Structure 1
């Protein structure tokens, strides 16, 4: 198991290595596996990428993000302009039903609402607008409303876990209750944990996934 000093060193190294963080003004503190990121960046996508970089490091149990987004003058935009751009981007997305997602912007912070059938649509919508100029944050409040209430078959999810997580699937327990899937057990990394939740979300009819998987070193 890594010490706090080792974990801090590894997180800093990952932040410095990530090419999507050209100017690294991010401070790192670690205590009992909890990583706190602080400082400031010039765009929301840099803040997002910093969080993702920290998540990739083995040994990170939780992340507190205290990074502020300080937009340079050339990147600042009116909320109405951001809203129009975000709405147009989503309207052109082939993976979304027409008018399925609504956009609200306040102080550069975008809130998405509405309903889609699949988790990948929900995530892709946030990813599409996260990189827009002038955005200071994104709240993804889009709900999942499957058009067909397919019953989740536990064996299908377990088979997917074996494909994606390989040997780690044997340590993951799947429980299905209606349209809710609960995952428990252990994995050795965030990557394996994310693969397990992805497998559950990809099952037809899933509306909720409760991730109770622990990271075990």
Structure 2
């Protein structure tokens, strides 16, 4: 049975309260036609990211709108130059990326990333490392993946991965590949199935972009 908006709102609030990395009292939750809007002010970017992730875990959430601000406590405010130094250090210590693979630009605490890496896990590891740095108010990810293999091979690898993991998802997801860009379409029951499909596409060598056209069944 499909959840009502009030039921989705109640479950999102409960999930935010359940997550120890989130201060639910700082976050408002509004729901209309299954679209959840998170509002309020959080004290760091990591908490904002965790709130978004928590909301996505809730069944019945069709889309997520983020209207939260990151308002740093006075002791956490740092200059862009200080943040840049911390970003460079943590990338060197934790990611082991080739030198100059990722370019960094910072404006008012917001980190903008660009460049090219070989694998999707390297891109995710870079973002994961940065979002915990004191003073960071947000992250824009423009890192690209270097293409490695042809379109037909990419499509076959993604479809095989989906089929290995769950036939229910593989039978309802269509995979289209143009160059190094993958488009996923079809219907799934929940966020977990959608994440599985997207994760399978991003983990395929040669994929530089994934377009998500997956919808939820009613």
Normalised to the residue count of structure 2, the TM-score between the two structures is 0.93
| Cα distance, 1:198 vs structure 2 | 1.1
What is the match of residue 58 of structure 2?
57
Deviation at 1:104, TM superposition (A): 1.2
The alpha carbon displacement at 1:177 in A equals 2.5
Query: Does the 8 Å contact 2:151/2:178 carry over to 1?
Result: no
1:113 aligned partner: 114
- Give deviations 1:117-156, integer Å, cap 9, x for gaps: 222211211111011011111111112223x344442232
Give the Cα separation in 2 of the matches to 1:182 and 1:24: 38
CA–CA distance in 2 between the matches of 1:84 and 1:136?
16
Relative distance call for 1:54 and 1:23 in structure 2 (3 A) is closer
Q: Does the CA contact (< 8 Å) of 1:26 and 1:39 recur in 2?
A: yes
User: Which residue of structure 1 aligns with residue 13 of structure 2?
Assistant: 12
Distance 2:19 2:198 in 1: 25
Q: Which runs of 4+ in 1 moved over 3 A?
A: 148-152
List gaps (5 residues or longer) in structure 2. none
Match of 1:126 in 2: 127
What secondary structure, in the 3-state scheme, does the structure 2 residue paired with 1:213 have?
strand
Root mean square deviation of aligned Cα = 1.6
- Does the CA-based 8 Å contact 1:165-1:196 persist in structure 2? no
Tell me how many residue pairs correspond in the alignment: 216
The answer (yes or no) to whether the contact 1:87–1:102 under 8 Å persists in 2 is no
Shift of 1:116: 1.1
